[in-house]
């Protein structure tokens, strides 16, 4: 018997069944995503659709289905999504056998993820669907932060001096191209030497830089991805200037308070602010000399010498000598600071290498994504990133997330409580619609790791919480009637109880396991878009996709 193979005919016109429902099984994830998105009342999503002038536009619901399914496959590049729409049957099911180009996909994602986009509304509606299916119990909610890299290089960071140098170069290049100046009265920028150093142009070196768009909005409507390099330089410079002025104002206010307290005889403990070190030293010397004169006068009036170690009349006391030495040191330190400041102006923004090593690290801004910051990553050290805050229930439902520029989590407890409360309304509506117990919708205990630990965070009003105390040492021992006056002692005690240990054991699996699932499933280790609003929108999109996947795994009905 002759063995034969099936014929291979690559000229066959149609290699797939004409019925798209036969391309992938009905239990496939893509059908679940379609059912969920199509069943939502997404008027904001529909508003993103552009029917087109010469031909019909793509359905925004189809594009939303495509993005959610692509993220669940770990495909986030718009070009790779377009490619999969040509070669992958499930992607073709998601698009209804259409192939949107990568520019359309990228524009739609940017519009949906930007400020005022429909993603938050979609997220809350999916929360309602999950809650109606019995998920999203709020008895235990865990909160954690993770660094997600920005779409920018750490090497693109510049100090304020470096940004000014770049800004002058941009203006010089524009002037050489146009043959015109910047428009400043009495100053032409056609001559590159005119911008060589500080003070050459009051408007440009003073921080105005009108040619760089400093008078426009802080973040362009299209995000930093479409902004010009000059616009990004201007935004970074403006941010650094504002931060520097704020720091200087705070230092001046602290110095004024310290000096007023010192003049009132109640100077606080700790170091003296450098700006008023000379004035404080003069005040101390003045009081020491006055005290010596008063002491000499009292003993002279009594007709006897001062007891103890004798000193000649007019000789300074040890206290006065010490005050005079402190005044000399403070004056020398002020002169050194003035010389250093003058040297920095002469060197320019680049500065000498040896001098730079002695200076403390200066604040920087990134000229690719000015909203991103240099942050510490446990595995990679210093990275250009955002701080993504996730709030997740014990049964695996992500609540409304948040993206911040803070390098640590210490200031995120209040925002976490607000985000959980905003999510609770959608969860409570879903539980009520399904006739589930109201207790499921009440926020029980919120779990935080020791990165959130502080006295202020413990004392914030709101739901019960357990915050890891880290290296905090409970001064104990505490008897049965101890009231734990310090809230940090009370938190340490709460974590040591059996109930506290049982609750806190959920923190790592819920929070860190949630981030592991998010990054592994969607590949969101680096944002695709630039700017804080769009980074927040992309995190929202990824967590929306993970919530939909959770519903599919649990076998819920999207109807």
Q: What is the pLDDT of residues 23-46, one digit of tens each?
A: 888 899 999 999 999 998 877 887
The residue with tokens 């003045």 is: 286
Length of the chain: 559
pLDDT at position 355: 47
- What are residue 487's phi and psi, to 5 degrees? -60, -25
**CB-based contact 539:149 (threshold 8 Å):** no
Residue 102: alpha-carbon gap to chain centroid: 28
Averages of pLDDT over each 10 residues, the chain, 559 residues: 74 68 87 93 77 76 96 95 94 92 94 89 95 95 95 88 83 70 45 37 45 50 64 78 78 78 75 79 80 72 59 67 84 83 56 50 86 88 94 96 94 95 95 94 95 93 93 69 77 90 95 94 94 94 96 87
pLDDT at position 498: 94
Q: How far apart are the first and last CA of the chain?
A: 55
Angle 130-134-137 from CA coordinates, rounded to 5°: 90
**What single DSSP character describes residue 169?**
H
| Distance from C-alpha of 446 to C-alpha of 423, rounded to nearest angstrom | 14
Note every long-range contact of 114-118, with CB atoms under 8 Å and residues 24 or more positions apart, other chains counting: 114/221, 114/223, 114/533, 114/534, 114/537, 115/533, 117/44, 117/48, 117/537, 118/42, 118/44, 118/45, 118/47, 118/48
Alpha-carbon dihedral of residues 410, 413, 419, 423, nearest 10 degrees? Answer: 130
| Distance from C-alpha of 94 to C-alpha of 96, rounded to nearest angstrom | 6
Is the pTM of the predicted complex or chain greater than 0.85?
no
Q: In 264-382, where does DSSP find H-type helix?
A: 277-302, 318-347, 353-358
pLDDT at position 84: 95
Farthest-apart Cα atoms in the chain, separation? 140
């Amino acid at each position: 018997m002759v063995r034969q193979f099936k014929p291979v005919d690559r000229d066959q016109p149609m290699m797939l069944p004409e019925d798209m429902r036969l391309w992938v099984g009905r239990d496939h994830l893509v059908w679940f995503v379609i059912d969920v998105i199509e069943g939502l009342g997404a008027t904001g999503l529909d508003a993103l659709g552009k029917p087109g002038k010469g031909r019909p536009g793509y359905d925004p619901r189809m594009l939303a289905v495509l993005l959610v399914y692509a993220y669940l496959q770990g495909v986030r590049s718009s070009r790779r999504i377009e490619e999969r729409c040509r070669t992958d049957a499930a992607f073709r099911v998601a698009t209804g056998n259409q192939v949107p180009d990568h520019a359309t996909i990228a524009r739609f994602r940017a519009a949906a993820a930007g400020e005022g986009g429909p993603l938050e509304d979609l997220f809350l509606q999916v929360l309602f669907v999950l809650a109606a299916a019995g998920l999203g119990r709020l008895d235990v909610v865990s909160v954690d932060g993770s660094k997600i890299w920005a779409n920018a290089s750490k090497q693109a960071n510049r100090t304020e001096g470096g940004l000014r140098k770049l800004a002058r170069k941009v203006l010089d290049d524009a002037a050489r191209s146009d043959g015109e100046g910047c428009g400043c009265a009495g100053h032409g920028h056609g001559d590159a030497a005119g911008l060589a150093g500080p003070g050459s142009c009051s408007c440009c070196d003073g921080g105005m830089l009108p040619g760089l768009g400093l008078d426009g909005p802080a973040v362009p409507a299209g995000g930093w991805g479409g902004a010009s390099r000059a616009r990004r330089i201007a935004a970074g410079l403006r941010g650094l200037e504002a931060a520097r002025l704020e720091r200087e104002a705070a230092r001046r206010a602290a110095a004024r308070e310290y000096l007023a307290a010192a003049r009132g005889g109640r100077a606080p403990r700790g170091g003296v602010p450098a700006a008023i070190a000379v004035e404080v030293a003069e005040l101390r010397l003045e009081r020491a000399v006055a005290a010596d004169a008063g002491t000499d006068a009292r003993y002279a009036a009594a007709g006897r010498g001062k007891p103890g170690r004798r000193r000649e009349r007019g000789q300074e006391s040890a206290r006065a000598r010490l005050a005079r030495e402190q005044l000399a040191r403070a004056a020398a330190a002020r002169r050194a600071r003035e010389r250093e400041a003058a040297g920095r102006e002469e060197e320019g923004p680049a500065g000498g290498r040896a001098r730079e090593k002695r200076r403390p690290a200066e604040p920087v801004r990134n000229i690719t994504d000015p909203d991103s910051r240099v942050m510490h990553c446990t595995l990679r050290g210093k990275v250009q990133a955002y701080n993504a805050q996730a709030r997740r229930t014990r049964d695996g439902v992500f609540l409304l997330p948040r993206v911040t520029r803070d390098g640590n989590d210490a200031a995120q407890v209040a925002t976490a409580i607000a985000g959980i409360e905003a999510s609770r309304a959608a969860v409570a509506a879903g539980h009520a619609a399904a006739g589930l117990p109201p207790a499921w919708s009440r926020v029980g205990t919120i779990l935080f790791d020791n990165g959130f630990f502080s006295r202020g965070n413990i004392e914030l009003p709101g739901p019960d919480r357990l915050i890891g105390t880290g290296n905090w040492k409970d001064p104990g021992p505490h008897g049965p009637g101890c009231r734990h006056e310090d809230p940090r002692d009370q938190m340490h005690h709460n974590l040591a109880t059996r109930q506290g240990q049982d609750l806190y054991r959920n923190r790592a699996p819920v929070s860190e396991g949630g981030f592991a699932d998010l990054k592994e499933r969607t590949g969101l280790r680096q944002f695709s878009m630039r700017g804080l609003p769009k980074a927040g929108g992309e995190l929202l999109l990824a967590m929306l996709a993970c919530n939909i996947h959770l519903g599919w795994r649990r076998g819920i009905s999207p109807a």
